[in-house]
Structure 1
Amino acid sequence: MTTTTLVFLVLAVTIIAGLSLYAWRLTRQVSAMKQAQQDEEAAGELHLRQHQEELVGDIRFIARAVIAGQCEITEGVLRTHYLLHGLDAEVWAREELHMIRNHYDATRDMPILQAYKELSRKEQFALDSRRLRLEEQHKAAIEREFRWLSSYSFPQVTLLQ
């Protein structure tokens, strides 16, 4: 074996060793990045699951409060609409909630908070009378629907399962 051949052989082994080391480092970096991504996804799923559980708990709490008379029907309906759309909007369209939807449609444009305070006493009285009349007309059906909602399992919300 000549000196030139030996030099080329040593040079080739050195280059191969260097490239192997570089490939090994890149593989470790990719593995670390994949692990970090998996950890981030797991943390995101955990956060989403906790948020979904909180929404379900809030929906059930409001439903029970309306049934027990601790929350006005209109307030419960408006809050439930907002929470359901944050959790599973398809539930809002279910036939089991048709009277709650009807009540929402009839009351969603009623002024609240500052807009309500800016109304005259006569306008406030007329608005309250209309709202209370609607609540009384549909009370039994809405309470029945809230009872159904308080025990609904939300099967489409996959992280809860």
Structure 2
Amino acid sequence: MTTTTLVFLVLAVTIIAGLSLYAWRLTRQVSAMKQAQQDEEAAGELHLRQHQEELVGDIRFIARAVIAGQCEITEGVLRTHYLLHGLDAEVWAREELHMIRNHYDATRDMPILQAYKELPRKEQFALDSRRLRLEEQHKAAIEREFRWLSSYSFPQVTLLQ
């Protein structure tokens, strides 16, 4: 073996060793990035699951409060509408919530908070009378629907399963 051949052989082995080391480092970086991505996805799923569990808990809490008379029907319906659309909007369209939807449609445009306070007393009284009449008219049906909702398992919400 000549000196030139030996130099080329050493040079080739050095280049191959360097490229192997570089490939090994890249492989480790890719593995670390994949692991970080998996950890991020797991944390995201955990956060989403916790959020969904909170929403279900809030929906059930409101349903039980309406049934127990601790929350006005209209307030419970408005809050439930908002929470259901954040969790599983398809539940809102179920036949089991027909009267709750009707009550929501009848009361959703009623002013609340500051807008209500700014109304003249006569208008406030008229709105309250209308709202209370609606609540009394459909109380039994709405409470029955809230009982159904308080035990509904939300099967479409996959992370809860």
State the TM bucket, normalised to the shorter chain: over 0.9
Kindly state the Cα deviation for residue 110 of structure 1 after the two structures are TM-superposed.
Answer: 0.1
For residue 86 of structure 1, report the CA deviation from its aligned partner. 0.4
The CA distance in 2 between the partners of 1:134 and 1:4, in whole Å, is 100
State the distance in 2 between where 1:146 and 1:30 align: 51
Query: Displacement of 1:71 after TM fit?
Result: 0.2
Query: What do the CA deviations read for 1:17-65 (whole angstroms, capped 9, x no partner)?
Result: 0000000000000000000000000000000000000000000000000
Aligned structure 1 segments of 4 or more residues deviating by more than 4 angstroms: none
Shift of 1:104: 0.2
- How many residues are matched? 161
Corresponding residue for 2:143? 143
**In 1: Cα distance, 2:140 partner to 2:22 partner:** 73
Q: C-alpha distance in 2, partners of 1:2/1:144?
A: 96
Distance in 2, Cα, partners of 1:96 & 1:84 = 14
Q: Deviations over 1:104-125 (max 9, x none)?
A: 0000000000000000000000
Q: C-alpha separation between the residues in 1 aligned to 2:17 and 2:101? A: 70
RMSD across aligned positions (CA): 0.3
Shift of 1:83: 0.3
Matched, 1:115 2:115: yes
Instruction: Tell me the CA shift for residue 133 of structure 1.
Output: 0.4
Q: Distance in 2 between the 1:102 and 1:19 partners?
A: 70
Deviation at 1:134, TM superposition (A): 0.4
Q: CA deviation at 1:76?
A: 0.1
1:54-90 per-residue CA deviation (whole Å, 9 max, x = no partner) reads 0000000000000000000000000000000000000
Look up the match of 2:79: 79
Query: Equivalents in 2 of 1:5, 1:98: separation in Å?
Result: 88
Residue ranges of structure 1 left out of the alignment (5+ in a row) = none
- What residue ranges of structure 2 are gaps of 5+ in the alignment? none
Deviation at 1:126, TM superposition (A): 0.2
State the alpha-carbon separation in 2 of the partners of residues 74 and 125 from structure 1. Answer: 16
